[in-house]
Structure 1
């Protein structure tokens, strides 16, 4: 299957003169495009905003935003060979690998700004702020984000849990209410344990928030609120590196947003906890 850039190259001669200018710029400077707005692209190429819009319609892109998301995915996977077994064919030094890991994670975090819908994020923050109980669940690499989420929201005084055992957490879900939130975390959105628990939570009227990839997966379709991470790893991979970073980034943003809204309600408890930690240090 041709890459987005190859597709543009193949269609270039069929485009209008103004559209060709946009296409040529994207081919030459693809790394600049994900951080640009349509207006930025218009100014940079010297064509009208209408020509930019027509360009993306001409190449069959649903929207500029979706094009950027796909471009980020391609750039990340092509520039970084850390997420599949091809890394074993390279003879990189430890520092070269450090540089690649840093670049991979940086690209992944930046692309989350494209995959995450603002209105869904704000809905997620509102739901968590008003929740009587919050249950986080994920398996494998996603369990790291689930544990982090449970810990952070416990610090805010919420009844927040994360259990790694499927049967143990399944036994607690019937006690969730319509004011409860079940945060399902899965990169693929197809993990069976996560899906079954999310379905059980929804059956008990709890609101399901999914932190999952920006694709129409079963978890994406099931969730009441989708907080989408970009696709930044091969499906056949050596470990969840960049995807875990994007999940943790969303958890951090949710936590700080709720903390900001609660304000003075929790600051005294934070100070008390901090003093206790300092006092008990060894």
Structure 2
């Protein structure tokens, strides 16, 4: 692997003793590091938190967050044979394809553990919990996650919407406030409609949360909070199957996190709504 892990191994002898301990831990447990804070890593490597910061700069990373993103990308690409739809063959029987797609989705979701930053996720949960309204938006395959998010949060009593028509959505953004949250969902982060609405939301001081890839994503750069999905699809002709699963997984986790932090009164209202649905089910 000629990436960041190999760079660490090559430079290990040039580092200070504390930085060496950080480097050795990373090379021995690379899959654990993307979900850690700098404090977590300092405890595991038995060094100060400042040593972790110095280590990152010694290997050419601007900060610990940047280092984690590069490491997560490298680890995700190492799984490319598992998350690449080129592994699906025309000769496969239907049930064999089912097994392969299931395995692809499983590894796509597991790869999100490497790409998603813990502090960013916790910040997103806090902002959503206190939001006066939540606006979801996505195009194509990403619209599925946006619809699901809008539905889930509306069940918690939030003013939560997903408007698929771009012009209608644009006409709604003036009603956003500094307490509002705009969740922009795009695998590439390059979809013009998503970017334009995100900019409109920023102009109203709303918090913009991006669910997108970190690599070459304009949406990632303009968002206040970045919830990164792994680059799990190489063949766009198949359709955004695995990427949609990662988006739905993040939405589901946000929903459950907000639900668990909700007041007892809101939980009771949720139960009442659930009982009403069951009573009138046809």
Unaligned runs of 5+ in 1: 44-50
Distance change in 2, residues 1:281/1:33 (3 Å): same
Q: Distance in 2 between matches of 1:262 and 1:196?
A: 32
2:133 aligns to what? Answer: 133
Q: If the length of structure 1 is used for normalisation, what is the TM-score? A: 0.75
Deviation at 1:60, TM superposition (A): 5.4
Contact 1:189 1:220 in 2 (8 A): yes
Aligned residue for 1:234, secondary structure, equals: coil
Contact 1:77 1:232 in 2 (8 A): yes
CA deviations 1:28-76 (Å, max 9, x no partner) are x8xx631357679969xxxxxxx99999878756656245302322122
Distance change in 2, residues 1:242/1:39 (3 Å): farther
Aligned residue for 1:215, secondary structure, equals: coil
Please, what is the CA RMSD of the aligned residues? 3.8
Q: Distance in 1 between matches of 2:53 and 2:121?
A: 27
1:46 aligns to what? Answer: none
Distance change in 2, residues 1:158/1:109 (3 Å): same
Contact 2:84 2:235 in 1 (8 A): no
Match of residue 81, structure 1, among 79, 84, 88: 84
2:112 aligns to what? Answer: 109
2:100 aligns to what? Answer: 97
Contact 2:178 2:204 in 1 (8 A): yes
Question: How many correspondences in the alignment?
Answer: 266
Whether 1:8 and 2:11 are equivalent positions in the alignment is: no
Deviates more, 1:244-253 or 1:90-99: 90-99
2:72 aligns to what? Answer: 69
Contact 1:211 1:229 in 2 (8 A): yes
Deviation at 1:189, TM superposition (A): 1.2
Contact 1:131 1:181 in 2 (8 A): yes
